[in-house]
């Protein structure tokens, strides 16, 4: 779970970096400032603590799996809430994107909002594979 939380924070940081590039800005430097991934860690910390406390002494594999699924479903929602705030803050111009030269001899790359969002959603589904499988098996009205 801790590793999943770290990976989700990185996914949100990559989303933020791609959105900033789509706006024509540089990503937030890794050694400076507060990145949105820190908000993810802050939001997920109490969920991890609650699950670990609830799993203390549990030996039933089905209960452990159910607890992990419940945690992933909550993490899915909390991570989306933070990512959605980033996406909602993007001005319309970023949807057209910005092309950035990668360097001499390398092709130009265009950053847009929709591929940045799709990449984030794909990465989140990879990290929270139980929640993704549950959503595929039982889709709901608020699937994001």
pLDDT at 77: 96
pLDDT at 136: 87
Q: Flag whether 26 is in a domain.
A: yes
Q: Model pTM?
A: 0.84
Of how many residues is the chain composed? Answer: 144
Minimum mean pLDDT range among 86-90, 106-110, 125-129: 106-110
In three-state form (DSSP H/G/I as H, E/B as E, the rest C), the secondary structure along 113-130 is HHHHHHHHHHHHHHHCHH
Percent of the chain surpassing pLDDT 70: 96
Q: Flag whether 142 is in a domain.
A: no
Q: Flag whether 144 is in a domain.
A: no
The CATH code of the domain that includes 73 is: 1.10.132.100
**Domain boundaries, position 22:** 2-137
Mean pLDDT of the chain: 87
Q: Number of structural domains, the chain? A: 1
């Amino acid at each position: 779970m801790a590793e999943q939380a770290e990976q989700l924070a990185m996914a949100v940081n990559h989303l933020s970096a791609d959105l900033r590039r789509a706006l024509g800005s540089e990503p937030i430097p890794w050694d400076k400032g507060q990145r949105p991934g820190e908000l993810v860690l802050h939001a997920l910390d109490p969920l991890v603590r609650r699950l670990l406390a609830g799993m203390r002494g549990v030996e039933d594999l089905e209960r452990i799996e159910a607890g992990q699924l419940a945690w992933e479903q909550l993490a899915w929602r909390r991570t989306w809430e933070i990512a959605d705030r980033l996406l909602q803050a993007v001005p319309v111009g970023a949807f057209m994107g910005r092309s950035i030269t990668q360097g001499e001899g390398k092709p130009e790359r265009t950053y847009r909002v929709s591929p940045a969002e799709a990449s984030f959603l794909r990465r989140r589904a990879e990290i929270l594979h139980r929640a993704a499988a549950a959503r595929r098996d039982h889709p709901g009205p608020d699937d994001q």
